[in-house]
A and B are shown apart, each in its own frame.
Chain A
């Protein structure tokens, strides 16, 4: 009798253990599968949001580039309204809704904090955007999108009649603009290559935490001497900004 009792006990123990292991295994697999698919869903709309963010950023650059040529102040709002419709065509069935507020576009100037005696002249466009994607339950994803191009200008005469221009160019987040060529600069409305014997070099300057690339434009023997000068810069996005300065 004792032996029989032990046999039954062992078998039941093994069976119970097996069932327990099976239940735990199934639970673990179901959990990981569920987690994976939740993760996938998140990633799916993250990629769409990424596309919308970078696309919107390009839209601001395009609008600002257009504005700096046509001075059409409605261009940003017009393009944003079209973009809202275009997104629905690009992602049908997702229920994408893009809304915007505080849309501004224009030119301006302000003093530079790191270089207190200087003024930065800028062209900029910005707005607060909000994305809803109904199909994945995303509501109120808000971000600020903007485009900016600024110029700090210093002008002086050296060696008699040689006009020397120091031009610092920066874009969004005070990031210096690199790779500008002579054809990207216009002095008093004339392209720099059209000024005889003009030269373009550059050097780096650090002001606190801010690194600037200073473009040095030289126009030799410019007579009669100017009391003020205007320099326009066009970057690789076709955004134009114009700075004015007295010549010292």
Chain B
């Protein structure tokens, strides 16, 4: 009577171990496919949305065109700095239609090397048609990196 009970108990232990292994294996296997919101694959998309929304808001308030065409680069830098979280670095370049850089001073927050070294730089392109009576489009390229 004792032996069959022991054999039954050992079998339960083996079954439990095997079941645990199956669960661990399943979790490990599933984890390969999981993409969490904090992964690098989401990061640039989130920054791109944020960057675009900021440019769009400034444009709606008629501030963006004023800053660009009146060449108020310090004000533009300040507006972007207060609109973005402190751990997000930015670098904005303004081009004319021939591809020449228009801003004669850097519109940047954060160290310059971070934009060339980071492999997660979000880049947003935005176009403004002109200002007041003057149709003369400018293309803005905003680069964003998490610090």
Query: Is B truly associated with A?
Result: yes
Q: With A3-B8, A54-B59, A90-B139 in contact, do A22 and B29 touch (Cβ < 8 Å)?
A: yes
A-B contact pairs, 30 of them (CB 8 A): A3-B8, A7-B11, A11-B15, A14-B19, A26-B29, A33-B35, A36-B35, A47-B48, A47-B52, A51-B56, A54-B56, A55-B127, A56-B129, A58-B59, A59-B129, A59-B130, A62-B131, A62-B134, A62-B135, A65-B132, A66-B135, A79-B129, A82-B135, A83-B137, A86-B127, A86-B129, A89-B97, A90-B127, A90-B137, A90-B139
B4 to chain A, nearest CB (A): 7
Interface of A is mostly: helix
Interface residues of B (CB under 8 A from A): 4, 7-8, 11, 15, 18-19, 22-23, 26, 29-30, 33-35, 45, 48-49, 52-53, 55-56, 59-60, 62, 65, 97, 125-135, 137, 139
Interface residues, chain A, with chain B CB atoms under 8 Å away: 3, 7, 10-11, 14-15, 18, 21-22, 25-26, 29-30, 33, 36, 40, 43-44, 47, 50-51, 54-56, 58-59, 62-63, 65-66, 69, 79, 82-83, 86-87, 89-91, 236-238
Interface of B is mostly: helix
Are the CB atoms of B129 and A50 closer together than 8 Å?
no
Complex CA gap A246/B11 in Å reads 106
Q: Are B135 and A238 in contact (CB under 8 A)?
A: no
| Interface residue from A55, A86, A238 paired with B133 (Cβ < 8 Å) | A238
